[in-house]
Amino acid sequence: MIFNSIDFTVFFSVFFLLYWLVGRINLKSQNLLLLAGSYFFYAWWDWRFLSLLVGSSLFNYIVGLCMSKTDDEKIQQRWLYIGIAQGILALFFFKYYNFFVTSFADAFSLFNISLKVETLNIILPLGISFYTFRTMSYLMDIYNGKIEAEKDWVSFFNYVAFFPSLLSGPIDRATTFLPQIEKERKFNYLQATDGMRQILWGLFKKIVVADNCAELANLIFDQYTIWSAGSTLFFGAFFFTVQLYADFSGYSDMAIGFSKLLGFNISKNFDFPYFSQNIVEYWRKWHISLTSWLMDYVFTPLSFTFRKYGKLGMIMAVMANFTIVGLWHGASWSYVMFGVIHGCFFIPAILNGTMNVKKVVAKGKLIPSVREVLNMATTFFIIILINIVFRAETLTKAIDFYSRIITNSPFKYPELRAPKVAVLSAVVFFTIEWIGREQNYAIQTIGANWHRAFRFVFYYALIMAIIFFSGVETQFVYFKF
């Protein structure tokens, strides 16, 4: 069941009414219904994997309780390792087994040693990376004394399986989610309308912008060898870059919007990353729930461990962090390289001590300065180029793609004329994003002071665009992670 489907619309409409009706009885029943709804939502995809989700929740719930029952740090640490090992093993088996086995055999083949390896035909359970990271952070937060272990199993199971963010995030933390689920929730009109608005914007991003751009990007990437102009390939990378952001941030907006309708505030995932002035800033604004997770549980401990090496230690920590960012996306060397390249762009910032410098682009102004425009354009250009590694299925294909951009007359006019809808939707999208860049999402305050009729006309226009200018339906890119 995906957010932009009839199935989900029916499911959510019924669930929404029941949820608030049951909420009038008591909190426990409401939370139980939420859990049942989440499991129904997950089982709709494949009921067999529901047991994995339930099993993982149960295991981590018990580990959490065991950790809280002792004051002995060593025993706590042991339980933590057991919990983390379960998460890593599940990820390893379902996501990385084939990758490591084949890479291992490939490494031996370099020395003319042929290893016969068996790969497995494994289905990747939807959302496994997201809910595993949720359970791991829960245990680490208990260990670090940030939270107490959750006693109420319904609350904890809801934290792991909360359906709006189950399949593609945001990766919420127990520290922010659990207090909300334990507190009685009252329907809040402003929060609900804000949620509706964010869902509408998310739908527009996904259906109009991402799906239209995907059509062109897929056409160019899937048969990249037939295009004779390098500019056509660059064109494909540009549209993929727009697609990736509109797709993933659109999904996140919908997830956050649906959560708001249920009375929850979950983490923000994007902060207009394509208006960043350098790659460091870009990573502060892209997939925030993942990067902040890695910052807290990987980068910070590593930089602490490597602190004796000074700036070199910091570089080591950043590179390790970004290798994990790459690997998190998938079991492929192209994703590892994607992470490593991004990590390399941090090195100058570490060396000149500007890694933590935060600048807000054109704050309070509509028009940015020339310098800001140049910085944004350069950053965006770099992101487009790096995304080729992300989109190409293998590293070999990515290298071939790059070489074709350079060698196949890069300045020749592209052979493909982009569909007007794709171009127009991208232009409208970026314009609205620019106008609303100081809000949580682009249209949060657009029309806030207008007469209701005019505001409605704006929303009608978005709905009409969704109906009449939808692209060919494509799966959410981040579902495969």
Partner 1 sequence: MQKFFKNIIVFVVGFIPIILRAMYVFVQAVDVKYIPPVRVSNSVSFNDKIFFCHKKIANTLAIGSSMTLNNIHSESIVNFLKSDSYLNMGSWGLCIEDVYVMLKEYAKVKMPETVFLTGSMEDFAKREIKYDNSDDIHKILTTDYMLLYYLKYPDVKYYITGVTYYKFLKQLDTTYESLKYDKYGQVKYPTKNFDLNLKRWNHVITNTILDEKNYDYLDSIAIFSHRNNIRLYYVQTPVRKGLVDSLNQNKLAQHSNRVQTILKKYNNLFIDTNDKIWEDSLFTDATHMNCNGAKIFTDYFIDKIKNAESSSAITSQKK
Choice from 73, 394, 463, 480 touching partner 1 (CB under 8 A):
463
Binding part of the chain for partner 1, among 62-70, 151-159, 325-333, 464-472 by CB under 8 A, reads 464-472
Token pair listed for 35: 């859990």
Using CB under 8 A as the binding rule, whether residue 411 contacts partner 1 is answered as: no
Choice from 2, 11, 18, 20 touching partner 1 (CB under 8 A):
20
**Quick one: residue 169, left, alpha or beta (phi over 0 = left, psi -120 to 50 = alpha)?**
left
At position 344, the amino acid (one-letter code) is: C
Choice from 74, 111, 116, 189 touching partner 1 (CB under 8 A):
189
Binding part of the chain for partner 1, among 29-37, 87-95, 155-163, 187-195 by CB under 8 A, reads 187-195
Binding part of the chain for partner 1, among 34-42, 350-358, 380-388, 456-464 by CB under 8 A, reads 456-464
Q: How far is the CB of 48 from partner 1 (least distance, A)?
A: 18
Residues whose CB is less than 8 angstroms from the CB of residue 392 and which lie 6 or more positions away in sequence, other chains included: 221, 334, 398, 401
Q: How far is the CB of 350 from partner 1 (least distance, A)?
A: 46
Using CB under 8 A as the binding rule, whether residue 469 contacts partner 1 is answered as: yes
261 vs 315, beta carbon nearer partner 1: 261
Token pair listed for 103: 């890479």
Using CB under 8 A as the binding rule, whether residue 464 contacts partner 1 is answered as: yes
Binding part of the chain for partner 1, among 239-247, 302-310, 430-438, 459-467 by CB under 8 A, reads 459-467
Choice from 148, 456, 458, 480 touching partner 1 (CB under 8 A):
456
Q: How far is the CB of 115 from partner 1 (least distance, A)?
A: 24
Other Cβ atoms closer than 10 A to 369: 11
Distance CA 211, CA 425 (A): 10
Binding part of the chain for partner 1, among 78-86, 266-274, 427-435, 461-469 by CB under 8 A, reads 461-469
Q: How far is the CB of 281 from partner 1 (least distance, A)?
A: 37
User: Exposure pattern of 418-444 as b/e (b: 16+ CB <10 Å)?
Assistant: beebbebbbebbbebbbebbeeebbbe
For 206, 207, 211, the CA distances from 243, given in Å and listed in that order, are 8, 10, 7
Choice from 369, 427, 460, 480 touching partner 1 (CB under 8 A):
460
Distance CA 258, CA 9 (A): 11
Binding part of the chain for partner 1, among 148-156, 313-321, 362-370, 466-474 by CB under 8 A, reads 466-474
Other Cβ atoms closer than 10 A to 384: 19
Helix axes 333-344, 395-407, angle to 10 degrees: 60
Half-sphere exposure of 128 (CA within 13 A, CB side): 25
Q: Which residues are catalytic?
A: 329
Distance CA 389, CA 399 (A): 8
Alpha helix positions (H), 144-223? 153-161, 163-166, 174-182, 189-203, 211-222
Using CB under 8 A as the binding rule, whether residue 467 contacts partner 1 is answered as: yes
Q: How far is the CB of 84 from partner 1 (least distance, A)?
A: 39
Distance CA 6, CA 8 (A): 5
Residues whose CB is less than 8 angstroms from the CB of residue 326 and which lie 6 or more positions away in sequence, other chains included: 335, 336, 337, 338, 339, 340, 342
Q: How far is the CB of 422 from partner 1 (least distance, A)?
A: 13
237-256 residues near partner 1, rule: CB under 8 A: none
Using CB under 8 A as the binding rule, whether residue 472 contacts partner 1 is answered as: yes
Using CB under 8 A as the binding rule, whether residue 473 contacts partner 1 is answered as: yes
Distance CA 334, CA 341 (A): 10
11 vs 459, beta carbon nearer partner 1: 459
87 vs 195, beta carbon nearer partner 1: 195
Total chain residues near partner 1 (CB under 8 A): 18
Using CB under 8 A as the binding rule, whether residue 223 contacts partner 1 is answered as: no
194 vs 253, beta carbon nearer partner 1: 194
8 A C-beta contact, residue 177 and residue 15: no
20 vs 306, beta carbon nearer partner 1: 20
Nearest to 391 by CA among 276, 280, 236: 236
Choice from 26, 175, 193, 300 touching partner 1 (CB under 8 A):
193
Q: How far is the CB of 438 from partner 1 (least distance, A)?
A: 26
Kindly write down the DSSP assignment for every residue of 325-365, as one continuous string: HHHHH-SSHHHHHHHHHHHHTTHHHHHTT-TT----TTTT-
Using CB under 8 A as the binding rule, whether residue 226 contacts partner 1 is answered as: no
State the residues that interact with partner 1 by CB under 8 A: 6, 20, 187, 189, 192-193, 453, 456, 459-460, 463-464, 467-470, 472-473
